[in-house]
A and B are shown apart, each in its own frame.
Chain A
Amino acid sequence: MDFLSALALDLAASWTRILVALFASIVFGILVGIAAATSRVLERIILPILDILQTIPILGFFPIVIFLVVSYIPGYIGVNIAVVFLIFTSMSWNIAFGVYESAKSLPQELHEIAALYGLSPLRKLLRIYIPSALPRIAYQSTISFSIGLFYLATSEIFSTGSANFAVTYGVGIEIARLAASAGSFYNYLLAIIGFVIAVILTRVFLLRPFSAYSERFSLSPNENASESAVLGFYSLIGKILIKPLMSLRPRRPKRRVVISPRIPQAKKPYKLVRHKHFAHIYALLGALVLVLLAILLLNTSQLGEEIIVLNALAASFVRVWATYIACAAISLPLGICIALSKRGFEAIMSVLQVLSSIPAPILMPALIALLAGTAFFSEALAISVIFISMIWYILFSMVSGMRTIPASIFEAARSNRLGWVQLWRKVYIPASLPSFVTGSITAVGGAWNSLIIAEYFTVQSNSQMVVLGQVGTGIGKLIDTAVFSGNTSLMLLSIISMTIMVVVVNRLLWQKVYNRVTTRYRIEV
């Protein structure tokens, strides 16, 4: 089989996985989001779980999941279930939050209409809840898709690290294979180009038409309604083929008619649930600590391993935060410059969108080639992967946040002839802080996820496990080696310790910074 058709097959396999996961996430998001919005009891169960899901480093659990699933369902079915499940977990909370928020902020009038016409719960779901949530679902799907790409690539590449778990087809595998056999630079380039084209096609033919379609259901006026030429074509086909389904559409409100100004404008990939109570976080922490103790006590032979785990955790902590500081120092000014650029903004954004659609793990072969022979090769490789996984979150969060700031704020600065230093210190940096912090929270969360591949990169070559990069010590590496060597208790110990650390930092640091920054620096529009 020539390379191009192999690549097409791999892409088809990968895209099947991510689209199945996306579809499952949307169904899950609708059910769970609406359940939480309509039932007080369910709300108190679901919200904390979603909050936990967005906080913990899900990828850290992937090794356990794949380990468990494959031991029950061996073969490629089990591996694929594990991969799809992982992508699903990374995407679904995001969509469920979106549905929940939009169902929660449904204008009172619509409830009254439903009561007035005596709609049954099912009809209310179909005619009111789901249509009104569609714009948010479409928006969150676009974000989820980007997040999912990262998890897709990482889980596929990770799975190839061991013959037991390896998926058979997938771009991730192609990348890993190419990384192992040096010299196929041309094929590698083709693989990346193929990946980017697949991303663009998905956007143009699936996500953008979905957004444009969903905006008909929008309850708030939207100046920058997204356009999609493809949608027109689809609706033509749709009119012919699925006319009956179209009757689902509610009577279309005229554009610019505001039913309710209360629709939340918050469009952030990360949502800090602003509860006053953190009971669920403490419960989670308590449970994790208990499991940790149980493992240690039941398995006294493992007592010494706690030191190894703590060591690895400390090393990874320094690695992640040092990289974050470097990344923040670059992306803060860069994000401000991009967000404020007038000419060429569209062009810059389209270039960035293409670049950001390439998940860091896919760049590893290039990074390896680039960094080969340097003094701290493995360390540099890990840091580069962490860096690339972080920067896009921060940049995109800043651009979308700062673009909603009224122009008059910056005009006031210009008309008062602020100097360069004053302009940055008093205006640009403070104005960027809320979106910068939101992006940072997601970025650091993503960094912890990327560790299982950044710190320890192995591929199969001629049925041999080849380690291409491994740092001295780190929690990601520890998890990987524990999984590959079948050391279950060490694996659990590492994952649980990492989760505790991430949850504690979120609670002690991020929640405080976020609250402070959003009360002080948010510009009300």
Chain B
Amino acid sequence: MMKPILELDNVRLYFSKGRFRTEIIKDVSFEAYKDEFVSIIGPSGCGKSSLIRIISGLLQSNGGEVLYNGAEVLSPPRGMSLVFQDFALLPWLTALENVKLALSDSNESEESKERRCKKMLQEVGLKGSAEAYPKELSGGMKQRVGIARALVSNPEVLLMDEPFSSLDAITADQLRKETHHLLKNKKTSVKLVIMVSHSIEEVIEVSDRIIVLDRVPTSIIDDIYVKMKYPRDMRSKQYFELASRLRKLLHSAQS
């Protein structure tokens, strides 16, 4: 039996404000294994971002635990990277410097860091823009920098919080395809991807496994393994069935 890379065990979360306590995550448990592309989908405000922040070690849960390769996650571990919905680039650093930020805890030489970052930027299709500042880049290019920053440290687990939802439909589509291609063809160090999304089409297009969350306070209401070949055929019967199943689930979760 293969050991999971990531284990979530009865993770719970609430926010307290004064005397009031709002339960956000009731109980979430799952295990994720090597070579999985897992999507987490759920109605808006159900706690998807909170969940992925707990996994990444940015937020502490109020119960249960997250294990990464058997060790409890208490702070952002080496080996995990996060891609943000709003890119989270520092506007006073160039694209290259933003990517280099991810290598600040490695003891490589400056030249080798720089070389790797440039290569990474090239890989995500930003060859000529290393010296550009974020505000000179389009939304799609900004997220390319965000992805390069997440990949340059050779992470084992890539976490993404709605990485394409700040982009226009066409740009999102293209970047999603490219990213999926990059990750699936074993060109990177990434062994496990966890992506949060609220788009049914998006998750069917890229996922090996889809976890569906309930409305807040959330828990898992379905965990679907998708056995279709890539690239996924939008006109196939399987696609249609999966889409309507997800639509039903989300509809019942929302109301």
A residues with CB within 8 A of B: 406, 408-409, 411-419, 422, 426-427, 430-431, 520-524
Contacts and interface: CB of A to CB of B under 8 A. Distances in A.
B104 A521 contact: no
Given A414-B58, A414-B76, A521 B92 contact: yes
Contact of A521 (B80, B82, B91): B91
Nearest to A346: B18
The 5 nearest A-B residue pairs measured at CB? A408-B88, A412-B88, A415-B76, A415-B82, A430-B92
> Taking each of A411, A413, A524, which has the highest tally of chain B beta carbons within 10 Å of its own beta carbon?
A411
B220 interface: no
27 contacts: A406-B86, A408-B84, A408-B85, A408-B86, A408-B88, A409-B88, A409-B90, A411-B82, A412-B88, A412-B89, A412-B90, A414-B75, A415-B58, A416-B76, A416-B101, A416-B104, A417-B78, A418-B101, A418-B104, A418-B105, A419-B104, A426-B90, A426-B93, A426-B101, A427-B90, A520-B92, A521-B92
B39 to A, nearest CB: 20
B149 A416 contact: yes
Contacts, number: 66
B61 interface: no
Contacts of A417: 76, 78, 104-105
Interface of B: 53, 56-58, 75-76, 78, 80-82, 84-86, 88-93, 101-102, 104-105, 135, 149, 153
Nearest to A429: B92
A411 B91 contact: no
A430 B102 CA distance: 18
Contacts of B90: 409, 412, 426-427, 430-431
B53 A411 contact: yes
Contacts of A409: 88, 90
Given A406-B86, A408-B86, A413 B101 contact: yes
Contacts of A430: 90, 92
Nearest to A409: B88
Residue in B81, B90, B93, B149 with the greatest tally of chain A CB atoms within 10 Å: B90
A411 B90 CA distance: 12
B84 A411 contact: yes
B175 to A, nearest CB: 18
A413 B93 CA distance: 13
Contacts of A426: 90, 93, 101, 104
Nearest to B92: A430
B215 to A, nearest CB: 19
A521 B149 CA distance: 20
A412 B135 CA distance: 18
B135 to A, nearest CB: 7
Contacts of B82: 411-412, 415
Contacts of A431: 90
B183 to A, nearest CB: 18
Nearest to B76: A415
A524 B135 CA distance: 9
B84 A412 contact: yes
